[in-house]
Chain A
Amino acid sequence: MSNLEHIRNFCIIAHIDHGKSTLADRLIELTGTVSKREMQEQILDSMELEREKGITIKLAPTRLIYDYNGEEYILNLIDTPGHVDFTYEVSRSLAACEGAILLVDASQGVEAQTLANTYLALDNNLETIPVINKIDLPSARVPEVKKEIEEVIGLDAENCPCISAKDGTNVEDVLKAIIEKIPAPKGDINGKLKCLIFDSHYDNFKGAICLIRVFDGQVKKGDKILMMQTKKVFEVTEVGIFVPNTKETEVLSAGDVGYLAGSIKTIQDVKVGDTITSAEEPTEEALAGYKEVQPVVFCGIFPVDGARYGELKDALDKLKLNDASLQFSAENSTALGYGFRCGFLGLLHLEIITERLEREFNLDIITTAPSVSYHVYKTSGDMLEISNPSNLPPQVEIERIEEPMVKVNVFTPPEYVGAIMDLCQDKRGVYKNMTYLDKRRVELNYDLPLGEIIYDFFDSLKSRTHGYASFDYEQKGYAPADLVRVDILLNGEKCDALSMIVHKDKAYNRGRELAERLKKIIPRQLFEVPIQACIGNKIIARETISALRKDVLAKCYGGDITRKRKLLEKQKEGKKRMRKIGSVEIPSEAFMSILKLNDEE
């Protein structure tokens, strides 16, 4: 249907907050894809949370039609998330494109994710066009940023478009650059069908929807298709494009970006990264897929009201439909009852899921402190993957524990180098390298345990550098570490949901801080309640919550009994949000308090 020469497939990559979604909005507006009336800000961020947080979470493709020198071009834009948790989504969309717009903030310059995303683009052999954004800012320093792009990234920036996506200045230059510099897709329309599934989502009416890039051949309604990895065969019920809402078309051909539905009942049948080919005339060779994403951060999620376990399960099932990276399995805690151990791509992902559970599904939930997945080598020779601290086997059975490591890149103005080094040291980091990129930018490389990153690394980095440093990380295997489990006993009874795995050198401090914090959070009970932190049988810290002395409103005056009853009812409602360990009542927020421990205190 379309002439390959007149198609460009591209994505926009950038460090978070450098204006990706705003540029996407302008491009959509400029090409008249969406009428002014329908235009709302950040049009591709359809989730309420995405708009609110100003971040992109899901991939959102859209087709732009642009008239250039009297010829009509189809520009397929795939918006990508900017946060490090969603790097895998970026790499997916890159594989569907021939080129990328690398957007750089004119005042911030090159940041950690600018670099990380550029590497991803280079890995995928994409033509990368630097674009400098936010030139309307008083603090814009276009010449310096051009220099940074050339020196740090190694891209020619001399004639790159300098724009303001906000007010629309020079945005046309971007469209021109896309057409002039990004190569047209290569592919054989008459060849055997070969499509890459770069994302999927679930539609209540149409079933699982595949977001695809066609590399060879054509696909249309009625075709029998084969998923090369899962070996499943489906009949296509609909193909179409995004404008940016879905629009059915007759056919999708080599070079096109669009969607495909095939009454696919479950999203599990659609593996992102899989190749779709024709069931009748299959291609021999599948496209290079992606490695499956593995969750790295785990936590327990429990309903505050135990009776709502079923609702929580339904909600997670629904979220999973559109988020293959979310993992969960049933878990039972003595403290929190029935719930789920959930795996996430990172803390932001965790935060987004828990927030969606609360907002979109109206659930009150308790989340336990996040943990990473440890490799526990037992003396018996077995290896266990442990993401729930309470599942750690007894010390005597453990030969060694390995923890996940990450390679961390920090970009910072030079004045904060000392503070960052202290922080990394504190987080058990191993120094690797330091490069002065220019007068105002230093790149620091450290290897750090992921467990320390998810703890409070990001907040500490932000506060120690006043927000001027940016960081990015990638996984780097496992390394042995001297780790122990710290348990909390309340009135002599272990509270499994408060156990944590920590480095031996930090166990004492963390145990003491947690006991102190719990003393502040747990209300007094009828009896004295000892709080003990221990490693195995060894007590490392102890606090005591003294017994409640007085809890009575003295006057039940003049027959006004309703007022008193209402007060007592309020008190009772408060109890509903409490969990019981033996006879000790614990407010739900106590379970998150491990997170708020601060080594620096």
Chain B
Amino acid sequence: MKNNEISIYIHIPFCERKCDYCAFVSFCVNEKEEDKYIDYLTKEMENFKTSKVVKTIYIGGGTPSILSIENLKKIFYTLKSNFKIKKDAEITIEVNPNSLSEEKLFEYKNLGINRISIGVQSLNNDTLKKIGRLHNKDEAIKSIKLASKYFDNISADLIIGLENEKDVYKYAETLIELGVKHISAYMLEIHENTPIFEKFNSQKYLPLNEEEVANEYEKLVEYLEKKNFHQYEVSNFALSGYESRHNLNYWNFGEYIGFGISAHSYINGKRVANANTLKEYFNGVKFQDENNSKTEIEERIFLGLRCILGVDLKVLDKLGYKMQNNENYQMFVKKGILFEKGDRVYLNKKYYLVSDFVISHLL
């Protein structure tokens, strides 16, 4: 990790329709709002001065693919004129199958984007409809094929735990046949104040139970391993060389700047969050999170153990925590739940599914 490198995250909070399970900051599109937002966003970027070199850029949302080409160009113009971007930088954009077109893909390529993350979620039409997605199976497949014309590095998202979804690994099979190089498989989390939460409470939506989710997850992990998609984090799988460098930077304690509403930054040892409402965001409201050696120890432990990076015990020691002296740590090592290699300690992948349990015993 070089200290003079940095990542950039850009949040696009607009969607055609908010998915029923989504608890992120997003709103329905409206051209005027979009233009105003892009104005503020680019201004925010212009005001940020750094001599550091940008190694990854991630445009997430919301649904960045609904942005007009013109607005996307504005973002990239600002990026390029305000930051030094590495030649081989990884530049990702999140897209939804229904808002993708050949024309857009062509422009993405021209702007320098080299990684596409497609929100597939499921390849079952009933399931997609029930969670409020606007695309169907055929459109999802079509969008991947289309993206493949222009891009090699394609990632697809899947959700584990949706109602009736008992063979998610079969979707992975289709995706891999279509040439997808990276799969993120997130377990459904039901958050308050989402439509699905209401339906779940009134038993109108019946997601898989914990036991079933664990089964689905394990089946998927096993299948992906067979296909040489190695698991490099709890929810992320990739062919060798196609791991998301942007995400690895988060987990490796690398610096990043977040632009846009609700975006988070970690820079100069400080964690800062932008406001969650447009009004506050437009007023430049930012919140600084608690940050000290204790929080850094905790962050290093849980970020490192959730992925293949592991945790550097010497770094923890320097921060004032000798984890090896923790009796739970010793027990976990003895039972093969944790394993040490050199100065680092790693979580046995078999225990990724209970990583919060393990980690909370180490803090």
Residues of A within 8 A of B (CB): 526, 548-562, 564-565, 567-569, 571-572, 575, 583
Known pairs A562-B271, A572-B361, A575-B360; list 6 more (Cβ under 8 Å): A526-B354, A549-B353, A552-B355, A558-B264, A564-B302, A568-B360
Could you name 18 residue pairs across A and B whose Cβ atoms are closer than 8 Å? A550-B187, A550-B213, A550-B217, A551-B353, A551-B354, A552-B234, A556-B251, A556-B303, A558-B258, A561-B264, A561-B303, A562-B295, A567-B356, A568-B302, A568-B356, A572-B363, A575-B360, A583-B331
The distance in angstroms between the C-alpha atoms of A553 and B353, with both chains bound, is: 9
- Known: A549-B210, A550-B210, A550-B213. Contact between A559 and B356, CB under 8 A? no
- Which residues of A lie under 8 Å from residue B358 when comparing CB positions? 526
- B residues near A (Cβ < 8 Å) are 9, 11, 24, 60, 186-187, 189, 210-211, 213-214, 217, 234-235, 250-251, 256, 258, 262-266, 271, 273, 289-290, 295, 298-299, 302-303, 306, 331, 335, 337, 351-361, 363
* Choice from A550, A559, A571, A583 contacting B250 with Cβ under 8 Å: A559
Q: Which residues of B contact A567 (CB under 8 A)?
A: 356
Which residues of chain B come closer than 8 Å to A568, judged between CB atoms?
A: 298, 302, 356, 359-360, 363
Query: Chain A residues with Cβ under 8 A from B234's Cβ?
Result: 552, 554
Look across to chain A and name the residue whose beta carbon is closest to the beta carbon of B332: A526
Q: Known contacts being A552-B355, A559-B256, is A565 close to B250, with CB within 8 Å?
A: no
Measured CB to CB, the closest approach of chain A to B323, in angstroms, equals 14
Residue of A nearest to B303 (CB): A561
In the assembled complex, which residues on chain B have CB atoms less than 8 Å from the CB atom of A560? 264, 273
**A558 in contact with B9 given A552-B353, A569-B298 (CB within 8 Å):** yes
**For A549, what are the chain B residues with a Cβ–Cβ distance below 8 Å?**
210-211, 214, 353-354
How many angstroms from the CA of A134 to the CA of B153 in the assembled complex? 86
Bound CA span A553–B355, Å: 9
A555 and B295 contact, CB distance less than 8 A: no
Q: Which residues of A contact B354 (CB under 8 A)?
A: 526, 548-552
Report B265 CB to chain A, min CB distance, Å.
7
The answer to whether A551 touches B258, judged by C-beta atoms less than 8 angstroms apart, is: no
Q: Which residue of B lies closest to A551 (CB)?
A: B357
Distance, CA A550 to CA B354, complexed state (A): 5
Q: Give bound CA distance, A549 to B209, whole Å.
A: 11
B235 touches A554 (CB 8 A): yes
Whose C-beta in chain A lies nearest to the C-beta of B247? A556
State how many angstroms separate the Cβ of A564 from the closest Cβ of chain B: 7
In whole angstroms, what is the CA distance A572 to B186 when docked? 24
Residues of A within 8 A of B353 (CB): 549-552
Kindly list chain A residues whose C-beta atoms are within 8 Å of the C-beta of B306.
Answer: 552, 556
What are the residues of chain B within 8 A of A575 when measuring CB–CB?
A: 360-361
Question: How many contacts A-B (CB < 8 Å)?
Answer: 100
Task: For B355, list chain A residues within 8 Å (CB).
Answer: 551-552
Q: Given A551-B355, A571-B356, answer yes or no on A565-B210 (Cβ-Cβ < 8 Å).
A: no
Query: In the complex, A129 Cα to B302 Cα: how many Å?
Result: 74
Given A554-B235, A555-B235, A572-B360 in contact, is the A526-B337 Cβ separation under 8 Å? yes
Q: How far is the CA of A555 from the CA of B355 in the complex (A)?
A: 12
Closest 5 CB pairs of A and B: A549-B214, A571-B360, A551-B357, A559-B264, A554-B187
| B217: chain A residues within 8 A (beta carbon) | 550
State whether B289 touches A562 (Cβ < 8 A): yes
Q: With a CB–CB cut-off of 8 A, which chain A residues contact B359?
A: 568
Residues of A within 8 A of B263 (CB): 558-559
Bound complex: CA of A592 vs CA of B256, how far in Å?
Answer: 50
CB distance from B290 to the nearest CB of A (A): 7
Q: Which residue of A lies closest to B60 (CB)?
A: A558
Residues of B within 8 A of A557 (CB): 24
Bound CA–CA A481/B349 (angstroms) = 56
**What is the minimal beta-carbon distance from A134 to any residue of chain B, in angstroms?**
48
Q: A562 CA to B186 CA in the complex, in Å? A: 19
A583 vs B359: C-alpha distance when bound (angstroms): 16
Is B11's CB under 8 angstroms from A558's CB? yes
Could you tell me the distance between the alpha carbons of A549 and B351 in the complex, rounded to whole angstroms? 9
Give the docked Cα–Cα distance between A564 and B305 (Å).
Answer: 13
CB distance from B168 to the nearest CB of A (A): 13
State the Cβ distance, A427 to closest chain B Cβ, in Å.
41
Shortest B273–chain A CB gap in Å is 7
CB of A492 to closest CB in B, whole Å: 16
Residue of B nearest to A548 (CB): B354
Give chain A residues whose Cβ lies under 8 Å from the Cβ of B258: 558-559
Query: Would A562 and B273 count as touching, CB distance under 8 A?
Result: yes
Q: A548 contacts which chain B residues (CB < 8 A)? A: 354, 357
Q: Could you say which of A551, A558, A561, A583 contacts B356, with CB atoms under 8 Å apart?
A: A551
Query: In the complex, what residues of A have CB within 8 A of residue B351's CB?
Result: 526
CA distance A176 to B276 in the complex (A): 75
A555 and B189 in contact, given A526-B337, A560-B264 (Cβ under 8 angstroms) = yes
Q: A558-B263, A568-B360 are in contact. Are A553 and B299 (CB under 8 A)?
A: no
Contact between A559 and B295 (Cβ–Cβ < 8 Å)? Answer: no
| Distance in Å: Cβ of A256 to nearest Cβ of chain B | 64
The residue on B at minimum CB distance from A583 is B331
B262 to chain A, nearest CB (A): 8
Residues of A within 8 A of B360 (CB): 568, 571-572, 575
Q: Give the chain A neighbours of B299 by CB distance below 8 A.
A: 561, 565
Q: Residues of B contacting A553 with CB < 8 Å?
A: 189, 356
Residues of the B chain whose Cβ atoms lie less than 8 Å from the Cβ of A551:
353-357
Q: Are A552 and B303 within 8 A (Cβ)?
A: no
CA A553 to CA B235, docked complex, whole Å? 10
Question: What is the distance, in angstroms, from B49's C-beta to the closest C-beta of chain A?
Answer: 20
Tell me the minimal C-beta distance from A259 to chain B in angstroms: 54
A552 touches B356 (CB 8 A): yes
**CA A565 – CA B304 in complex, angstroms?**
13
Decide if B357 touches A569 in the complex (CB within 8 Å). Answer: no
Closest residue of chain A to B256 (Cβ to Cβ) is A559
Distance of A579 from chain B, by nearest CB (Å): 14
Q: Is the CB of B363 within 8 A of A569?
A: yes
